[in-house]
Amino acid sequence: MNRPVVTLGEAMIRLSPSGRASLEQSDLWEVYVGGAEANFAVALARLGMHVQWISKVTRNPLGKKIVGKIREHGVDVSKVIWTDEGRVGIFFAEPGPLPESWMILYDRKGSAMSHVNPEEVDWESVRNARLIHLTGITPALSEGCLKVVERAISEAKKGGALVSFDTNYRAKLWSAEEALAILARLLQGVDLLIASLRDIQALFKGGEDGEVEARKLYSQFRPRVVVVTLGEKGALAYDGERVYQREAYPTQVIDRIGRGDAFDAGFVYGYLTGDIDKGLMYGNALAALAQTRPGDLCWFSQDEIHGLIQGTFRRISR
């Protein structure tokens, strides 16, 4: 129980126009820290779990801002690889006219993390983990990142750690064909396979029925659990015997970026402290709350999650 949850990936600086202005229109910018694995780490640490985030970061004010912000939430950043080379990745997020529509522009080429290699990582931390969480973003960044993810899965298995993997497909980083060729190999070694129905449709040419697609993925990769997120319809999971499903919690959408990472953290927390059904309950709750505040990181606590689940969340707090 004292073994940490470890995650490995890149964090970046996010710039968003103030208010709901467009990138072209705005003269004022809001600055956030974000990245799938870092978002996951922060959300899980705020639930009280020991979480360690591993990355490679440029030793400059932007890199220090990223690491400091992640540390602020209780995440262990002691295994971050610091470098004087490369750069900090940046991305721009523009809210669209609809709550679900956002445009993302990346400026991350040549980032420090994209130059990581397996020899730089402290693999003892991964072997000592209770679970390691990975996503399909990291292997898309470079050949070195792919090798690090492959090694991470191997080292986790050596130490008896569970492997959680979110496909997290990014069409701006690689094609569906490229992603599928790599992910089909990586997913053979995972215990918790998480994918949005949208990712399944893009990568595996799946249909509209989440349960059918979960069964297909389970048959192909044989993880302990397949989890399929369904957007506003919630999420479901299949463990080879039973289908579990939980509806989404309705909340106001302010900023949807990082919502999937919050779901992953909630599911992992619920699964490790309970079972699959608790994982779906916490995943949906944390995802719902995450989209109600600006920025990628999830700032919610156990009490607030319990309030949403129990229907008592801040009706009027005086």
Helix (H) or strand (E) holding 221: helix 210-221
Tell me what the mean pLDDT of segment 97-105 comes to: 78
Tell me what the mean pLDDT of segment 245-267 comes to: 94
User: How would residue 313 be classed by pLDDT, with cut points 50, 70 and 90?
Assistant: low
Is pTM, for the whole model, over 0.85? Answer: yes
- Judge whether residue 276 has pLDDT over 60: yes
Is 261 an active-site residue?
yes
Residue 176, amino acid: A
Tell me what the mean pLDDT of segment 183-209 comes to: 96
The one catalytic residue in 261, 264, 275, 296 is: 261
More reliable by pLDDT, 311 or 132: 132
Residues 41-83 pLDDT 10s: 999 999 999 999 999 999 999 999 999 999 999 999 999 999 9
At 158, list the tokens: 């050596």
Q: Any idea where the domains of the chain sit in the sequence?
A: 5-10+35-87+113-310
Tell me what the mean pLDDT of segment 207-218 comes to: 97
Burial of 73 (0-12, 13-18, 19+ CB in 10 A): middle
More reliable by pLDDT, 222 or 253: 222
Tell me what the mean pLDDT of segment 249-259 comes to: 90
Tell me what the mean pLDDT of segment 111-115 comes to: 97
List the single range of 168-177, 219-228, 246-255 with lowest mean pLDDT: 246-255
What are the backbone dihedrals phi and psi of residue 202, each rounded to the nearest 5 degrees, phi first? -75, -40
Rg (CA), the chain: 18
Residues 76-88 pLDDT 10s: 999 999 999 999 9
DSSP 73-125: TT-B-TT-EEESSSB--EEEEEE-SSTT-EEEEEE-TTBTGGG--GGGS-HHH
Rounded-to-5 percentages of helix, strand, coil across the chain: 40, 20, 35
> What local confidence, expressed as pLDDT, does residue 317 receive?
55
List the single range of 130-134, 155-159, 249-253 with lowest mean pLDDT: 249-253
Helix (H) or strand (E) holding 52: strand 51-54
* Residue partners of 296: CB distance under 8 A and separation at least 6: 14, 32, 33, 34, 35, 38, 39, 257, 258, 261
- Judge whether residue 100 has pLDDT over 70: no
Nearest to 5 by CA among 125, 121, 122, 136: 125
For residue 188, the tally of other CB atoms under 10 A from its CB is: 12
Say how far apart CA 178 and CA 176 lie, in whole Å.
6
List the single range of 16-20, 257-261, 275-279 with lowest mean pLDDT: 16-20
Nearest to 1 by CA among 295, 309, 280, 272: 272
For domain 5-10+35-87+113-310, say whether CATH 3.40.1190.20 is its number.
yes
The helix/strand/coil state of 126 is helix
At 297, list the tokens: 């990181």
Percent of all residues in the chain with a pLDDT value above 70, rounded to a whole number: 97
What does pLDDT average to over the chain?
Answer: 94
Say how far apart CA 29 and CA 21 lie, in whole Å.
10
DSSP structure class, residue 121: S
> What local confidence, expressed as pLDDT, does residue 315 receive?
60
